[in-house]
Amino acid sequence: MRQKTAASQTTVAIVGEDPIVGQALEALLQTAGYGTRFVTYPVIDYSRNILADTHIVLLMPRSSNTSRKGSTSATTNIPILDLVSEPHEVQPLRGRQVRWPCRLEQLRREIGAALAG
């Protein structure tokens, strides 16, 4: 119960190209008690409106060969989890890589670890 309370206070921004997969991930995280927001990639401007009240950013795996340069702002202090289909397939911009797909419990642990430091 304690984890659910902590999760419900955490807002996750999900950045990706596929809105159907993004909405499915949103629904999954919402069942775990997280607040969520799906943002379509590419993100041109990480204005305060887009990241307002966001605690962590999940970068969904890319379906194309486009670069993620500029998909995250170096000036933001928000932790980033880079979901990848193969570990080390791309150089993480900042933050941690997480193999995707993974179990919800593993994703919760990764989110907790990223938020802890």
Contacts of 71 (CB under 8 A, 6+ apart): 15, 41, 42, 43, 59, 93
Hey, what domains does the chain have and what are their CATH numbers?
2-116 (3.40.50.2300)
The token duo for 19 is 């809105």
The verdict on whether omega for the bond into residue 42 sits within 30 degrees of 0, i.e. cis, is yes
Q: Could you read off the pLDDT of 68-92 as tens digits, one per residue? A: 554 444 446 889 999 988 766 565 5
> Residue 86: its pLDDT value, please?
77
pLDDT at 100 over 70: yes
The token duo for 62 is 């890319």
Interval 88-104 mean pLDDT: 76
* The pTM of the whole model exceeds 0.95: no
